[in-house]
Amino acid sequence: MRVQLARQLLDRQIVDVEGRLVGRVDDVAFAVDDEGYPYVDGLLTGQGALGQRIGGRIGRLLVAVADRFTDDPPVPPLRVPLAAVARVDSAVRLRCRAADLPPSPVETWLRRHLIERIPGSYRASG
């Protein structure tokens, strides 16, 4: 079966089992099986993944901005294992909650250094 990944996966919203937005599919991770055949291993989301996919000056700028807003650059993209994908329709729908995925390093940095300094932010849902 022939699959057009760019058309069927890239830039689709990733939605968790509760309907919360996780991000967009910015790139696709491949692996190679024992017989040497490539297969889709996971979906990547985040500025680092998008910047590497776009490439050029704009891509490098996206990666640099993401790296600036983290404590430990370079920023790895959020990797969603293919096993966590329930189905793909107008969005990529997951079998798990967004909270079950690893947190985005950029989001963690922004929460710690910016959001938590806002009075009353501890009452915000997260």
Q: List pLDDT tens digits, range 35-64.
A: 999 988 999 998 888 888 889 999 899 888
Question: In the chain, what are the helix, strand and coil shares in percent, each to the nearest 5?
Answer: 35, 25, 40
Domains of the chain, earliest start first: 5-123 (2.30.30.240)
Query: What is the token pair recorded at 45?
Result: 């989301």
Q: What is the rounded distance in angstroms from the CA atom of residue 48 to the CA atom of residue 62?
A: 7
Q: State pLDDT tens for residues 56-93.
A: 999 899 888 888 887 777 878 889 999 999 999 999 99
Phi-psi region of 95 (alpha: psi -120 to 50; beta: other; left: phi over 0): alpha
pLDDT the model gives residue 65: 85
Of 102, 96, 56, 99, the C-alpha closest to 76 is 102
